[in-house]
Amino acid sequence: MNTLLTQTHNGIRDDLALISNWITPGARVLDLGCGDGNLLAHLQRTKDITGYGLEIDADNVIACIEAGVNVLQLDLDAGLDQFEDNSFDFVVMSSALQEVQRPDELIDEMVRIGHDSIVTFPNFGHWRPRMSLGLRGLMPVSRALPNRWYDTPNIHLCTVRDFEGLCESKQVDIVRRHVVNHAHRSNIGMRTFPNLLGEIALYQLRRHTGI
């Protein structure tokens, strides 16, 4: 999993702290690409949640077990067929959407198995990547996108507008959106022009019911 930032807030990374604020106490949570299980461990301590993490890296799986987090060693690109519809209250995927082979199919699966889904990703529409490409002709490297083009795990970078277009085409409802900078702070400019000024986007999604 690509970590956007290493700053911590009360023992948890700032990006995960933002996600934690959206999780209701006692919820059933599935964390896709859960890394070392920091988010789930935090939610277990502070919100009495139950759930699982999915992680492919063996070292991270061991870290999850040591942290008391239920974890399954699975590749997200293999799909989530083993989970039934509405198995969880929240399905979370932090900073991994751009790393999977078919993010569109994974969004389908997330809203199928979870009542709500929370997704975060770096916004390629931010003005810094635009300027790097437009003025320098180079793939951008920034605090939100720290890897170079030849060693990046990111294979499907997108913008805020791209992602919202995908949700619209799939009839996935956007319950709320929050865009922040590399330090996970927001301001009125980002809220007004999220695709231009937001470096990192957070979305809460829900399958459209037609009601």
**Alpha helix locations (H) across the chain?**
14-22, 38-47, 58-66, 103-113, 127-131, 160-169, 188-192, 194-197
Give per-residue pLDDT as tens, 11-64: 788 889 999 999 999 999 999 999 999 999 999 999 999 999 999 999 999 999
**CATH level 3 topology of 8-207:** Rossmann fold (3.40.50)
Residue 7, pLDDT > 80, answer no
Q: What is the pTM assigned to this prediction? A: 0.90
Phi, psi of 76 (to 5 degrees): -60, -30
| CA dihedral of 194, 12, 117, 115, whole degrees rounded to 10 | -140
Give per-residue pLDDT as tens, 151-166: 999 899 999 999 999 9
Number of Cβ atoms within 10 Å of the Cβ of 131: 11
Sheet with 71-73, edge to edge strand ranges: 71-73, 50-55, 28-32, 88-94, 114-122, 200-207, 172-180
